[in-house]
Structure 1
Amino acid sequence: MPAFEHTLQLKEFERVSVGPQWDSRTRTVGAGEVAAIERFQAKSGRELIKLGYRSIQGTNWVGTLGVGQRCLEVIPKIDDPAGPLDARRTRENLLWMVSRAGMVPIEPADIARLADPQRPLLAAFLDLYVDHLAREWQRGPIKAYISEEENRTYLRGKLLFPQQQRHNLIQKQRFFTTADEFTMDNPLSRLLKAGLRCCAGQRLSDTVARKARGLLMEFAEVADWEFSSQEADQLQVSRQHSRYELLVNLARLILRSTSPETGGDGRQVYSLMFDMNEVFEKFVAAEMKTALAGTKFAVVSQVAGQSLLTQNGKPRFNLRPDIGVYRGGELVCLVDTKWKRLDMNKSHAGVSQADIYQMYAYGKEYGSALTVLLYPRWGSLPESIAGYVHNYSALADHQKGIEIRTLDVGSLLSLPAHRMEFAASLFRLIPDVAPRSR
C-alpha cells in the first residue's frame, strides 16, 4: 500500500466503500469525490470507475484518477492472485507495457523512478517532466525565428503596404513591417510552459508544484498559451531541437491528463488512465514486430479486408483481428489478444464461447490455418491452454485451427533474461518457427 496518505489503491474490478468523507485507512471514498468523478466521466464519455451509492468498483482502466488532493490508483492484475501484491513490480510492468505500446513517451531508464509506489503515478510523471525540463532548459532554451508584424518607429524587415496605408497614412514617421525575431517566445516553448503551468497548478504533489513554480521564472519571456489537443499535436519538433522531443511529447500527455474539470464544489479531476485491453494489444503487437524483425515474417496490426457477411453485395460486420503474421505475403496466423484472467478450474479455463466464435470467423473468412487467442499469464497458468481443430474441409488437413495461449506478464518485463524468454514465447506462437539464437 502506498504511503501517500491521500491515495487509495485498488486492483482492476476491486470494490471500495463510499462514505461521507474520504479515508484511505478504511478504504473509503468520499461522496464529494464520487460526485466529481461522475461529472468528469459524464463529460468524457468514458467509464473509468463504476460508480454506485454504497461502493465504487475499478474497471479495466488502470492508472491515476485524481480529485483535488486525493486520488484513486487502479493497478492491473498482473501478479500471482495467490501471492502478495508487489506494487513496484506491477507498476514497472505496466509502465514497460505502455511505453513499448507507444502510449507514453518515456525512456526505459525512467521506468524504475516512475514505478515508486509511494506517490501517485501521475505525480511521478509530473515530477519527471519538471526535472527533465529544468535540465534541458539549463543546457539552452528553445529559440526560433518567428515572423512578427509590428508598427515600428524605424524601418526593419519587409514593409507591409496595405497595413502601412491603413495605420500610418498620417503618421509618416512609423513603418508597419514584418521581421523575423530570434526569440524564446515560440510555439514549442509555449507548449513546454503550458505543461509546466499544469504541474504548478495541480494539487496532487506540493513538492512538484513548488519545483514547477520555481522553473516558471525561467520562462518569463515565454507567453502563456492555452493549447487545444489538436494544436498541441500539430506542433513539429525540428532536428535542431530534437533533444526536446521527449519533453514535447510529455507536455502533450500532461495537458491531456491534467486539464482540470472543476465542479461546483471546486474539486479538480485529473486523469492518467490506460485501457488494459488496448495496452495489451498494442504491447503484444510491438513486441512481435521486434521479435520477428530481420526474419522472413512480417507483422501487421489491425488486419482488415474481410467481413462476416454481405448485404446487396456490400460487406457487413467487418472482421479486424488484432495481429496478422505473414510470410512472403502469405498469411501464416492471426492473433487476437484478450486482457482477462483465465482460471484452469473453470470450464474451458474461462474462455468465453463468444471469443471462440470470433476466432472461428477470423480463420474461416481470412483463410488462416491458425488463429491464436492470447491471454496474459500469471501464477501457475501454463503457456498452452488448449488447441481445437476446425471441422470445415478447407482447413481439415491442418492439425489445429484455434489455439488458446498465454504470455507471461507477471515476471519483471524489463530484465534482459525475461525479455529474451518473452521474445522466445512469441516465436512459439507461430507454427514451425524456432526462436532465433541471441
Structure 2
Amino acid sequence: MTPTVEIVEHAPASSHALPDAVGRALAVGGIIDASPDPYAPGRWLLRAGSKVGAVAITMPGGEAGEAVTVRITPKVPIARLFFLLGYSLDPRRAWRDGQVDVAEHRDLLPALAHAVERQIDRALGQGLLQGYRPTEETALVVRGRIREADQIRRRFGATLPVEVIYDEFTTDIAENRILRTAVERLLRLPGVPNGARRRLLHQRARLADATPLVPGRPVPVWHPSHLNARYHHALHLARAVLDGISADHAPGGLRIDGFLFDMNKLFEDFVTVALQEALRGTGLTGRLQDAHHLDEAAAIRMKPDFVLYGPELTPLAVADAKYKAEKRDGFPDADLYQMLAYCTALGLREGHLVYAKGNAPHTAHRVRHAGVMIHQHALDLDQAPAGLLHDITALCRQMCVGLPV
C-alpha cells in the first residue's frame, strides 16, 4: 500500500517517517519546507506553504505502487477554491456554487478530477468540435498550395512528390487536444478515485482522435467564439490542470508526479481580476502586473498587482494582494514598506494591501513625513461568492473615492 502523508496548508511543522531520499526530494523541489527531525532519526519535519494538492514520489526502480504520496489540504473550502479559480479564469462565466459540483469531495485532487470529467462530458454532449487546422504533407497531387521553399530544398526541382499545405477540417484541433491532454495527465496522478478514473477513461476514448500535447511545449492557443462556447468551462479548467501538473526527476533517480495549486497566485489572480471587473462602466482602467520603476535610472523594476489609471494612463490608485492571514500583532511590516515604495514611485497618496483574512476588515496607517496613507483590507474567503464579490466591489469604491469616476 502506498504510504500517504497528510498535511495542511500553512499549518505548523509536523514530524513524519520518510526515507531520506524522499525528504531531500521534497526540500529540493520546493514543494514544502522539509528538514530532518533533530530529535527522531528517520523522520522529517514537514510544513506546507501556499501550495496545495498532491504529489507522489516514486523510488528508483520501484513499481507503480512503491511511492510516497504527500497530500496538502487547503484551508479554503474546496467549493470556494473552485469559485476563486473559475472567476479568475473567466469572470463573466465564473463557476458559482452548484455549477461545478464538488461539495462531496474534501480533497482537492478528487474534486478536480470530478470537475474536469463533468465539464468535458458537458462539452462533448453534442459531439466533438471540429475545425480547420493547417496541415503540411508530402503528396502526389496538389492540395491547397505548394510550399515552394520546401519543394526546392527537398526535391531539388523535381515535379513529384509535392510539398503542400492545406486547411484540414478535423477534430484534431487545439480545443480537443487540450482536453485530451488534461485527461491523460489526471489519469497519471495519485489520489484520483476509481469512479472518476473510469469516467476519465471514457472521456479519453471519446477524444481518441485528438493528439495529446507534447510535454514541455507551449499549449496551443484557442480563441473563444460562439462556435466553441460549450467548451469554454472545460477548456479553462483543463488549462488549470496543465499549469498545475508537475512531473520531474529529482536527484537520486526519484520521480515526482503531482498536481499543485499555488494559493498565493490564485488569490492574487482573483483579487485583481475582480477589481478589474468592478471598474466596468466607470471610465477608469485597471491593469494587472504593470511594470514600473522605483528609481529615476529605471534600474529597479517593480510590478504592483493592480494599478488603477485615469485619462492618459495617469496612475490613480495601487493595490497588492497578499495570501496570508493577519498575525496576532498585525500584518507583516514588510508589506507596508513595499506599498510605500509603490506609492512613492507612482506619486500616489494612498495604497491598498488586500489580505485573505484578518482580525478586522480594514485598518489604515499614515506614514510620517510622507503624506501617504496605506490601507490594509481583509477578505473573508469562507463566505459565499456573492458576499465575496460584494466586498471586492466595496473595496473598489473605496479606492475610487475622490477620483473622477
Give secondary structure in 1 for the equivalent of 2:299: strand
Say if 1:96 and 1:111, in contact at 8 Å, map to a contact too. no
Q: Which residue of 2 aligns with 1:210?
A: 198
Aligned pair 1:11/2:1, yes or no?
no
Q: How much does 1:17 deviate? A: 1.5
* Pairing of 1:18-417 with structure 2 (within 5 A): 18-20=16-18, 33-38=22-27, 41=29, 47-53=30-36, 54-67=44-57, 70-76=69-75, 90-102=77-89, 107-109=95-97, 113-114=101-102, 116-119=104-107, 121-146=108-133, 147=135, 149=137, 151=139, 157=143, 181-205=168-192, 206-230=194-218, 232-236=219-223, 239-258=226-245, 260-261=247-248, 268-276=256-264, 278-307=265-294, 309-310=295-296, 314-328=297-311, 330-343=314-327, 345-346=328-329, 349-352=330-333, 354-378=334-358, 381-392=359-370, 395=371, 401-414=372-385, 416-417=386-387
Checking the alignment, whether the CA contact within 8 Å between 1:375 and 1:407 is kept in structure 2 is: yes
Q: For residues 14 and 272 of structure 2, what CA distance do their matches in structure 1 show?
A: 34
SS of aligned partner of 1:316: coil
Change (3 A) 1:339 1:136: closer
Letter in 2 for 1:12: H
Q: Runs of 5+ in structure 1 lacking a partner?
A: 21-29, 42-46, 77-88, 396-400
2:12 aligned partner, one-letter code:
E
- 1:240 Cα shift? 2.8
Q: TM-score if structure 1 supplies the norm length?
A: 0.70
Contact 1:62 1:73 (8 Å CA) reproduced: yes
TM-fit CA distance, 1:52: 0.9
TM-score (norm 2): 0.75
The 3 A distance-change label for structure 1 pair 33 and 192 is: same
Q: Which runs of 5+ in 2 are unaligned?
A: 37-43, 58-66
Q: Report the 3-state secondary structure (helix = DSSP H, G, I; strand = E; otherwise coil) of the residue aligned with 1:128.
A: helix
2:389 is aligned to: 419
Q: Which residue identity lines up with residue 125 of structure 1 in the other structure?
A: L
Higher Cα Rg: structure 1 or 2? Answer: 1
Looking at structure 2, the residues matched to 317 and 204 of structure 1 have their Cα atoms a distance apart, in angstroms, of 44
Distance 2:145 2:272 in 1: 55
Find the residue that maps to 1:149 and give its secondary structure.
strand
Q: How many Å separate the matches in 2 of 1:112 and 1:186?
A: 25
Q: CA deviation at 1:50?
A: 0.7
Query: Displacement, 1:245?
Result: 3.5
Supply the distance in 1 between the matched residues of 2:98 and 2:25 (Cα, whole angstroms): 32
SS at match of 2:101: helix
Q: What SS class does the counterpart of residue 73 from structure 1 fall into?
A: strand
Distance in 1 between the 2:231 and 2:100 partners?
A: 21
Q: CA RMSD for the aligned pairs?
A: 4.0
Give 1:83's aligned residue: none
After TM superposition, give the deviation of residue 72 of structure 1 in Å. Answer: 1.4
TM-aligned CA distance change 1:106 to 1:122, over 3 Å: farther
Against the structure 1 CA distance between its residues 282 and 418, is the aligned structure 2 distance closer, same or farther, given a 3 Å change threshold?
closer
Q: Is the 8 A contact 2:276 2:286 kept in 1?
A: yes
Counterpart CA distance in 2 for 1:91 and 1:212 is 20
Q: Distance in 1 between the 2:31 and 2:25 partners?
A: 13
